[in-house]
Amino acid sequence: MTDIKKGTHFMRGPVKWASILTPNTTFEPTYQATLLSPIQVNKFGEVINNDSDTVFADFENRGFKHSVKEDKETGEKCLYFKRKFMVKKPKKDTDGNNIEDSEGKWIFEEVENTVPELKDKDNNPIDIAVGNGSEVIVMYSEWGTQNQFGDFKGLELKGLQVLNLKEYNEDVGFAAVSVADVEEF
C-alpha cells in the first residue's frame, strides 16, 4: 500500500468524543478521538498545512473512507482516530520467541493493547477526561491492509496532547428533590 505514509504524524484542532485513557465500549472497545477542523502540524506543533479542506481531500483521495466522517450534530467533516482495546499478538515462549503450531504457523492470543499517551500542553502525563471542544494535538500513524473483503485503511491513535482543556461534564442524572418541592407542581 504505497499511499500509506510511514511514521508518526500530528494533527491539531478541537476534539469531540475523546476516549483516551478509558476505551469507549459502545460497540467494540476502542480508544478514540474525533477531530474537527484539523490542521497538520509537526511534532513541535508548528503548522504544516492549515487548510482543513485539503487535509480531508488528501485522506479521501488516498482511500481513508472510514477515517473521514461527518459530525452527526453539525454535518461538518471530521477525522476519526482509534486504537483497538484488544489485539491479537503472537504467543511467546519464556525466551521471547513466537510459539508455533504443528504446521509451523504462529499461535496468536488476544491481549490488551497499550493505552494511548495523554499529555498536557507542557508534555506532562495527565489523567483526565477530555471534554468536547478541547483544543488538542493528536499523534497518530496510518495503517492499511487488504483481504478478501477489500482494502482497509485507518488512523491509529497513539496519543493526545491537550492544549486548551474544556472540562468534561458527565451527565449525573436528576438532582435530589424534596417531596415538598414536587407537591408545589
- Residue 169's pLDDT band (boundaries 50, 70, 90)? confident
pLDDT in tens, 76-131: 999 999 999 999 999 999 999 999 999 999 999 999 999 999 999 999 999 999 99
Top pLDDT among 177 and 129 is at: 129
DSSP codes joined into one string, the chain? -TTSPPS-EEEEEEEEEEEEEEEE-SSS-EEEEEEES-EEE-TT--EEE--HHHHHHHHHHTT-TTTEEE-TTT--EEEEEEEESEEEEE-B-TTSPBPB-TTSPBPEEEEEPPPPEEE-TTS-B---PBPTT-EEEEEEEEEEEEETTEEEEEEEEEEEEEEEPPBP-----PPP--HHHHHT-
- pLDDT over 60 (residue 173): no
Q: pTM of the entire structure?
A: 0.83
Percent of the chain at pLDDT > 70 equals 90
- pLDDT over 90 (residue 72): no
pLDDT in tens, 7-17: 999 999 999 99
pLDDT in tens, 5-47: 889 999 999 999 999 999 999 999 999 999 999 999 999 989 9
